[in-house]
């Protein structure tokens, strides 16, 4: 089946839905999403969204905190622009129906997180993402021009080059091939403008607090289509996820530390004062590395996050989701410290885009975690990502609305999917085995602390697995497991290749063989582009 639309949005988190809502009055929007619409990383975000909203804060302070956390690799113009557009982005969310937590005096309750010098995080208790997703989904479902395709997974982007077009103007993106997971048919979406809002890639690692959908699909598809990918070595490990055999890496929000929680060793000693002057509110790269170091030195399986000194009623009211979830696992956070470990959380690199969110493929835009806009540099400042999603949704909307008014941008005609000689797979075990092998390899060799030898080993293994997947891929009908496996293999390789390029340690990339920061040679992005 062929579907044509003005705007094809791939992904249904804060970035994709904000964009859809901004352009829907001007054309038809198709939102394609792999599972149910709310199964996104946005929905799991606990902490909140950063913006300068208090008279005790300033744009300059937010810019400075972002630059410091990003170890001066961020593009300062982009940082300034995002920070200055923050209050408008918050107003957009409130207009769409988001209800942020307020204090008794009816002003917004601002919290703090690691790396922030001021209280500037708006939140909805400890379920901020869920509240944002609720409001945006409701608004999107009610808009007559937005059609939502749930349980549809993109296989690949369609470009001039791949479609064999005689257009030599440039490599334009024309839409995407999409698998309808229920009918198992591949549909062809032709679009004037294609927007990747597919989120991150935490599932590349064995331990992650990301949802199962975070398989780096947008990054892998853009790479295969010939777009430039940047800074993939900067995978952020969240310092504190619940350590419990039955919990699937449940996040313990950094705002718990923002409200006074202290990291302790098994014997109760606080340790963050040995690593950073901001102690428990140090930037994430430093905190995660400190925890990793403490666990290795003392041979412990976790460290402990202690908020028991705060009033139990306050804890239950401010962190109801974390309180209830921990209690389910037998931990009462009002009376005992929470066992925590780091886990893969956020990829700071991604599809390299310009200040309007456009990749180097014409009409292919990227917003949110899938994109590398220059905001996060070598380490994202907590709660800047939801903000980036809304701000760039506006910029991409402005640019793409201009685009569809240009005369030549007729909805492209694209060829249907070619099934070739594909049959049903007879060896699903290959897919399951390769998933596991990639994730273990990345955790063991490309984690918080890296070495040249480990990176080389990882690359060798990943390349072998990738060859196997490619052989398998074209012989069988596509399934979502297979599509995602192909994507995590590509993204894992991109992370290793970027990590091998960067011969220094900076932010989230720490290599024992180059332990120092090298501003002379490496104050720049790592870039990778596939030769087509």
| Residue closer to ligand SIN, measured from CB, 5 or 240 | 240
Nearest CA among 255, 218, 259 for reference residue 240: 255
- Which residue, 44 or 397, has its beta carbon nearer to ligand SIN? 44
CB contact set of 106 (below 8 Å; sequence gap of 6+): none
Contacts of 407 (CB under 8 A, 6+ apart): none
Please, are residues 75 and 375 in contact by the beta-carbon 8 Å criterion?
yes
Beta carbon nearer to ligand SIN, 128 or 505: 128
State how far the Cα of 39 lies from the Cα of 21, in Å rounded to an integer: 18
517 catalytic per annotation: no
Taken as a whole, the chain contains a residue count of 532
Q: Which is nearer to ligand SIN, 340 or 498 (CB)?
A: 340
H or E element in which residue 460 lies: helix 452-473
| Least distance from ligand SIN to the Cβ atom of residue 19, Å | 20
Residues 31 and 148: beta-carbon distance below 8 Å: yes
> Which residues lie below 8 Å from residue 323, measured CB to CB, with a gap of 6+?
315, 316, 333, 334
Q: Considering 85, 120, 264, 284, which one is annotated as catalytic?
A: 284
Nearest-approach distance from CB 128 to ligand SIN, in angstroms:
8
Judge residue 443's burial from the number of C-beta atoms within 10 Å of its C-beta, 0-12 exposed, 13-18 middle, 19 or more buried.
middle
Closest CB to ligand SIN among residues 123, 172: 123
Query: CA-CA distance, 162 to 461, in Å (whole number)?
Result: 29
For ligand SIN, the binding residues (CB under 6 A) are: 46-47, 253-255, 382-383, 385
Residue number, nearest CB to ligand SIN? 47
In whole angstroms, the minimum distance from the beta carbon of 383 to ligand SIN comes to 4
Beta strands 262-264; 350-352: pairing state: unpaired
- In the bound state with ligand SIN, the residue whose beta carbon lies nearer, of 42 and 400, is 42
Closest by Cα among 340, 348, 341 to 369: 348
- State in angstroms the smallest separation of the CB of 325 from ligand SIN: 13
What's the closest the beta carbon of residue 56 comes to ligand SIN, in angstroms?
A: 21
Q: How far is the CB of 47 from ligand SIN (least distance, A)?
A: 3
Active-site residue numbers?
284
């Amino acid at each position: 089946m062929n579907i044509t639309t003005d705007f094809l949005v791939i992904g249904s988190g804060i970035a994709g839905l904000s964009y859809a809502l901004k352009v829907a009055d001007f054309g038809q929007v198709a939102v394609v999403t792999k599972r149910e619409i709310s199964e996104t990383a946005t929905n799991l975000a606990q902490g909140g969204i950063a913006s300068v909203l208090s008279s005790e804060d300033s744009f300059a302070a937010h810019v400075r905190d972002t630059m410091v956390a990003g170890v001066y690799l961020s593009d300062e113009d982009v940082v300034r622009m995002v920070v200055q557009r923050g209050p408008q982005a918050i107003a957009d969310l409130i207009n769409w129906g988001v209800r942020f937590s307020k204090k008794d005096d009816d002003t917004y309750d601002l919290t703090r997180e690691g790396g922030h010098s001021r209280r500037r995080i708006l939140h909805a208790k400890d379920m901020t993402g869920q509240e944002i997703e609720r409001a945006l989904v409701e608004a999107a479902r009610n808009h007559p021009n937005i059609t939502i395709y749930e349980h549809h997974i993109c296989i690949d982007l369609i470009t001039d080059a791949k479609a064999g077009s005689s257009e030599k103007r440039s490599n334009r993106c024309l839409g995407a091939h999409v698998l309808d997971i229920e009918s198992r048919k591949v549909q062809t979406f032709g679009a004037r403008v294609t927007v990747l809002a597919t989120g991150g890639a935490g599932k590349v690692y064995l331990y992650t607090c990301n949802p199962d959908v975070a398989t780096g699909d947008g990054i892998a598809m853009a790479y295969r289509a010939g777009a430039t990918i940047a800074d993939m070595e900067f995978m952020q490990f969240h310092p504190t996820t619940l350590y419990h055999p039955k919990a699937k890496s449940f996040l313990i929000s950094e705002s718990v530390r923002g409200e006074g929680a202290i990291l302790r060793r098994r014997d109760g000693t606080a340790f963050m004062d040995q690593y950073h002057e901001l102690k428990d509110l140090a930037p994430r790269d430093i905190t995660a590395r400190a925890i990793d170091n403490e666990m290795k030195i003392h041979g412990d399986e976790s460290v402990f996050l202690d908020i028991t000194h705060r009033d139990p009623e306050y804890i239950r009211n401010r962190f109801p989701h974390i309180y209830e979830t921990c209690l389910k696992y037998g931990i009462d956070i009002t009376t005992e410290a929470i066992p925590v470990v780091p886990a893969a959380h956020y990829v700071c690199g991604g599809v390299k885009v310009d200040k309007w969110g456009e990749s180097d493929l014409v009409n292919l835009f990227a917003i949110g975690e899938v994109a590398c806009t220059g905001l996060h540099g070598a380490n994202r400042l907590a709660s800047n990502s939801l903000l980036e999603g809304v701000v760039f949704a506006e910029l991409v909307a402005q640019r793409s609305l201009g685009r569809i008014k240009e005369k030549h941008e007729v909805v492209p005609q694209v060829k249907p999917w070619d099934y070739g000689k594909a049959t049903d797979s007879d060896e699903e075990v290959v897919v399951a085995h390769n998933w596991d092998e990639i994730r273990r390899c990345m955790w063991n060799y490309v984690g918080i602390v890296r070495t040249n030898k480990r990176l080389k080993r990882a690359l060798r293994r990943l390349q072998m697995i990738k060859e196997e997947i490619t052989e398998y891929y074209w012989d069988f009908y596509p399934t979502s497991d297979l599509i995602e496996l192909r994507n995590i293999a590509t993204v894992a390789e991109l992370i290793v290749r970027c990590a091998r390029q960067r011969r220094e340690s900076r932010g989230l990339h720490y290599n024992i063989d180059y332990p120092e920061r090298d501003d002379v040679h490496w104050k720049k992005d790592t870039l990778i582009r596939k030769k087509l």
